[in-house]
Structure formats: C-alpha cells, structure tokens
Structure 1
Amino acid sequence: MNHSYHPIHSPKLQPELHRPWYNYREYKPSRRLESHVASFWTMDFQPVTEEDQWHRIIPDGCVDIIINLLSLTSRKSTHVLGLTTRSEVLHFSEARSIFGIRIYSESARALLKFPLSAFMKHHVFLEEVWGLNGLYWVEAILTAKTTSDIIEIVEHNLCKMLTDSNIHTPSLVYQSMQHMYAYKGNLTVTNLADKVNFSERHHLLNVQDTNLLW
C-alpha cells in the first residue's frame, strides 16, 4: 500500500548545493515496503577542493538507519538516527559514502524492536539494536558491489523482519498519524482528538503512554 506522505530533503530543495563531487540520490522501496519505508538514499562526497560541503538534515517525522559504506568493519559503522525536532547541518571535509534507510515513524517500532524514545537524544549503533544479526546484515551490505545489490539485501531483511515481527502499531496511533500526514502537521491536539473521537485529555494521555511503548 502506497504511503500518503513523502518527505522531501534539503538536496532536492537546494539545487545550489549540487556539485560534481557531492551526490545525493533517493530510491523508492518495493511495493511490499512502500508503506513502511519512505525511501532509500545515498550520499557521496569527495573532497576535491578546499571548500567544505554541508548537508542539512530536516526534521521529517521519520527514523533513519545510516550506514557508513567506507567503514573497514561492520562494528560501529551503522547507527539509528531517531526523530529530530530541529534542523542539523553537517559539514564534510573528508570523503563520505553513506547509505540510508528512511523509515516512517509508525513502522519503526516493528522493525527496530525498541520504542522510539530510545533513539531520541543520541545515535544508537545497530548492533545495540539487532545484536549479531545486525553485524552480519551490515557486513553483507559493506561487501556488496553496487547500490542495487545493497537495496536487494536491505529489502530482503526488512521484509523478513516485518513477517517475523509480532509488534503492531496501536490503532489510535495509526489513525492519528494518518490524520497528521493528511493535514501536513497543521493540526491542533484538539482537532486531532476530534478526528479520532477521543477527548483532548484522553488523547494526550494515550499518546504519552504510547510513546513510552512505541
């Protein structure tokens, strides 16, 4: 099922950042994953001039798994970047090659097995989330030859995780997220509570409780 929300990121909004030595691309997931994954993305940078390259991360309501493709080892080469509340600007002076998986927040719990609150304030290495399976998974990605090969590995593993997962998004959270997407976030708590037939106080308490589980 296609998702109603498709985040747009700074390289697409700021074409002046495009340089021959800085390349950002996004790839659509398969139909099986399109309701869970917003996109796969790559960012490559080569320091061919003395000028630093900067890359802005915009809060978009998604969670990213970020893989350093230049890492010599799978350990501590991949981390989870949780929900952010403000823009962050990254400055690059050394070569970078990154593969990212942008996951919709309502699907992150089923894939990451931890509540979103665990990823709010700091980067969490993937092996802390998935253990040895995470290390094996990243090792396969680091030895892949092409981006297409990486996407095939990622899609196979994510589909398997969704099949094996017994964690489902609570209906209240799912309904609330769909309304927030439809209104592009321009929705008060009172209006949102009306949409899902909950009192504002009841809705706030449920959302707070769900965040702890989610």
Structure 2
Amino acid sequence: MYVPIQFIDETLVHPQLNYSEMLPSDALKPYVACYWRLTSQSRLEEVILHRVIPDGCVDILFDLTSGETHFAGIMNQVDMIPLIGDVHLLGIRFLPVSIPFLLKGEAAFLVNHMLDVEDIFGNKSLFNDSIITPEQSWNQQVKRIEDELMIMFKHHVLDPRFNGMLSVILERGGIVTRAELAEYFTISERQIARIFKSFIGVSTKEYASIIQFQSVLRLLKQSQTPVNWSDLSLQGGYYDQSHFIHAFKKHYGITPGHLITKPCPIFPIQ
C-alpha cells in the first residue's frame, strides 16, 4: 500500500505547530491514506510559512477556526502556505485511486489549486454541513468523517485498468515510462495520456516524477546514516545529479546542496 510522505520526522515541524496523522479503518484503506491535523500551540502573531510537498494525493481540508472546508487538488510542485492566528486544520488525504471518483474524471482544473468543497461536490455535499467541531476529540472527529466516507464510497468500484497502471507506477517508485505502461496494458500512449490528464490532472510523466520524489523521501526517512546525495540520486532512479537536483528543488523548494550547507530541521544530514 502506498504511504505518502509529507515530513521525514513529524516531530520536527515548526516548533509552534503540531502535526499528526491517523490511519483509516480497514474498510477505507483502499481510498484514504490518512487523516491529519495541523494545530498551533498558541495564537500565531506572525506569519509562518508551512511547506507542503507533492505526494500524488488530494485532500479535503476542514478549517475549524474559520468553519470553511476546501478541496485541494493534486500538486506537482512545492507550495509554501502562510499561517497566522489560531491554526486548527484537519484533513483527509485521499489515495490516487480515489481521485477519478472524487473529481468525476475532471481533475486537471484543480492542479495546484484549492477550492471551496461546495464548488466541487455541490451544495448537497456530505461535507457542507458542520460534521466536525473543535469541541470534538480527534477520535470523534475522525469517526464522524469515516461515517460520511463509508456512505460516499459504499458503491464505488475501482477502475481495474487505471488502478493497475497506478499500481505499476507506485510499485516501481515512479521509474516507468508511458511506453512501458502502454505495452504492459496493451493500450496506446495517447490513451494513457488522456486518462491521466483527466483522472489525475497531470501527465503520466509528471505523476511518475512525483512518486519518484516520494521514493527518495522514503529512502531519507529510512536512512540511519549521513546522506550521500550521489548514492541517493542513483537509488532514486535519477540518471544524473543535475536531474536529481532539479527535481528536488521543484518538489521540495530548495536544492539538496542548500540542505547540506544550511542545517535543516527535516533531514538528518551531516
């Protein structure tokens, strides 16, 4: 099962913020990666830039301070989100197989964007009402969300061909070409391009690049020794360091070299 990564070490988020994740119930594991929450320890008097990196997923975000609910589309580049005041966000991170169902095959318009949930699901959405409140515990909030998701996905059936193509990309850590997918699934490259643009929102190459970057983060998270970036780029399937540096900067916002020369609270680099 694909496990998207937002932080190498969740304990090393900005010191004024708390981030945590909770796994879904077994029935929802095919569709949901996790539920997450981001809260401030106290009211933020100055803007904090919170880094969000591409993970191949989409999210529903509940802002329990403002009462607003948004849908965040797939990202193909890093974003720095400004946070100020009382931060109390709760999110549902949906796995890639859920995106065609959630966005009805029209995912391209939401790439790198976030819209009010009503603009996505209409005014009769399960998430338009105040299904969760700040007064509820973390477990109560997730239970309420899961009740709604069980209704939403009750009759949903995964598309076997699309699910198969996603599985190959995920299992190979993004190191697969559209031509290889076309040959394996006996479908034209043009058809694959249309499917991914419609179902996911980005091209097959872009999506594979996101998963490839996520595989590098996984290697970093598992590493118990100082990072050798040359070896890491080869393990991640990048054909040279220039390609790796370019992809890393696009998806994380800074280069690996910048992480080495300036200590970063995310990676254990020496």
TM-score band (shorter)? 0.7 to 0.9
Structure 1 residues 143 and 42, CA, compared in 2 at 3 Å: closer, same or farther? closer
Q: Which amino acid aligns with 1:196?
A: F
- Are 2:198 and 1:212 aligned? yes
Q: 1:171 aligns with which of 152, 160, 168?
A: 160
* Residues 60-209 of structure 1 aligned to structure 2 (within 5 Å): 60-71=55-66, 73=67, 77-113=68-104, 115-134=106-125, 137-142=128-133, 145-165=136-156, 168-198=157-187, 202-209=188-195
1:195, distance to aligned residue in structure 2 (A): 2.9
Aligned residue pair count: 200
Q: Which amino acid aligns with 2:179?
A: T
- Is contact 2:74-2:110 (8 Å) kept? yes
Structure 1 residues 54 and 14, CA, compared in 2 at 3 Å: closer, same or farther? farther
- Is contact 1:47-1:93 (8 Å) kept? no
| Alpha-carbon separation, structure 2, partners of 1:136 and 1:18 | 29
Task: Report the TM-score, using the length of structure 1 for normalisation.
Answer: 0.81
- Is contact 2:24-2:32 (8 Å) kept? yes
Greater CA drift, 102-111 or 28-37:
102-111
1:162, distance to aligned residue in structure 2 (A): 0.9
Q: 2:32 aligns with which of 37, 45, 51?
A: 37
Structure 1 residues 48 and 123, CA, compared in 2 at 3 Å: closer, same or farther? closer
What is the CA deviation profile of residues 5-25 of structure 1, one whole-angstrom value per residue up to 9, with x for unaligned ones? 101113x34754342x31000
1:136, distance to aligned residue in structure 2 (A): 6.0
- Is contact 2:36-2:91 (8 Å) kept? yes
Gaps of 5+ in 1: none
Structure 1 residues 192 and 14, CA, compared in 2 at 3 Å: closer, same or farther? same
1:144, distance to aligned residue in structure 2 (A): 5.3
- Is contact 1:52-1:91 (8 Å) kept? yes
1:184, distance to aligned residue in structure 2 (A): 1.2
Task: Report the TM-score, using the length of structure 2 for normalisation.
Answer: 0.65
1:49, distance to aligned residue in structure 2 (A): 6.9
- Is contact 1:47-1:95 (8 Å) kept? yes
| Alpha-carbon separation, structure 1, partners of 2:135 and 2:185 | 45
Structure 2 residue matching 1:78: 3-state secondary structure: strand
Gaps of 5+ in 2: 201-270
1:128, distance to aligned residue in structure 2 (A): 1.9
- Is contact 1:26-1:42 (8 Å) kept? yes
Q: Which amino acid aligns with 2:78?
A: S
- Is contact 1:78-1:125 (8 Å) kept? yes
Structure 2 residue matching 1:140: 3-state secondary structure: coil
| Alpha-carbon separation, structure 1, partners of 2:34 and 2:74 | 16
| Alpha-carbon separation, structure 1, partners of 2:158 and 2:196 | 10
